[in-house]
Amino acid sequence: MENKKKLVIGVIGADVHAVGIQILDHAFTDAGFEVTNLGVMVSQEEFIAAATETAADAIMVSSLYGHGELDCRGLRDKCNEAGLKDILLYVGGNIVVGKQPFDEVEVRFKKMGYDRVFGPGTAPEETIACLKEDFNL
């Protein structure tokens, strides 16, 4: 029980899409993770504060309204600043404006410091599989 990997999840920025994050909460919890769900309209600072108190192993950022590229920038730097040095960062959803080739988007977000980037329509199972791989579970 104490050894469960801890995730902090939430929808970043001025984004009020409230349904998907609940689905992810259930999916990750069922998959054996300990989930702290910050809900919608979460700032970078809130992700970091929650991850600090809960000693989280990963921060999972959702963005569905197309402004993710602005909202997500700088999170890795702030994590480093806050002492969350090796924390895993995932991002997923409709994270950019319009339809852009996903491989380009992925490169841009990886440059920002995200370990994994997921496009629209990703099933929770896929993300869970990646988590298990990254945590060697």
CB of 86 to other proteins, least distance (A): 14
Question: Which one, of 121, 122, 119, lies nearest residue 109 by Cα?
Answer: 119
CB of 110 to other proteins, least distance (A): 25
How many residues interact with other proteins (rule CB under 8 A)?
Answer: 23
Residue 20 contacts other proteins per CB under 8 A:
no
- The single residue among 20, 29, 66, 130 that binds other proteins, judged by CB under 8 A, is 66
CB 5, CB 57: distance < 8 Å: yes
Known catalytic residue at 15:
yes
- The two tokens of residue 111 are 């440059």
- The two tokens of residue 30 are 């069922």
Tell me how far apart the terminal alpha carbons of the chain are, to the nearest angstrom: 14
CB 58, CB 92: distance < 8 Å: no
- The single residue among 27, 41, 105, 130 that binds other proteins, judged by CB under 8 A, is 41
Look up tokens 């480093």; give the residue: 80
The catalytic site residues sit at 15, 17
Q: Which residues bind other proteins (CB under 8 A)?
A: 2, 6, 8, 14-16, 34, 36, 38-41, 46, 49-50, 52-56, 65-67
